Amino acid sequence: MRNRIKIERAIKDLTQESLAKQVGVSRQTINSIEKNRYAPSTVLALKLSNVFEKSVNELFELDETD
């Protein structure tokens, strides 16, 4: 699964730490999501979509391996 979290975070000028605080997870979790090492739960994906004011489908997309 690919995602645009890093790009959207840069657009909003947010650090990993501040984004993590807003969605209630650790900075390491945000880092893992950005590096596609961890697929977030639906709840976390929805929280991220609220922060970036984008739909989940705009933030995350399936890749060939999924």
Partner 1 sequence: MNPSKDLKLLPHHFRKYAFSLLVATVLFSMLPLLKLVSIDKNIGFLIIKSGFLTAFLLLALTKEKMEDERTIRLRVLSFSGAFIMGVVSGITEPLINLLIDGSFISTRGTMELLISMFVFYFITYYILKYKNS
7, 61 in Cβ contact below 8 A?
no
Please give the C-alpha separations between residue 27 and each of 14, 51, 64, in angstroms, as whole numbers: 12, 15, 28
Piece of 5-13, 38-46, 55-63 that binds partner 1 (CB under 8 A): 38-46
Piece of 6-14, 23-31, 52-60 that binds partner 1 (CB under 8 A): 23-31
By the rule CB under 8 A, 28 interacts with partner 1: yes
Phi first, then psi, for residue 3 (nearest 5°) are -150, 165
The residue among 8 and 29 lying less far from partner 1, judged by its C-beta, is 29
Give SS3 for 43.
helix
Judged by the rule CB under 8 A, the positions of this chain that interact with partner 1 are 24-26, 28-29, 31-32, 37-38, 40-41, 43-44
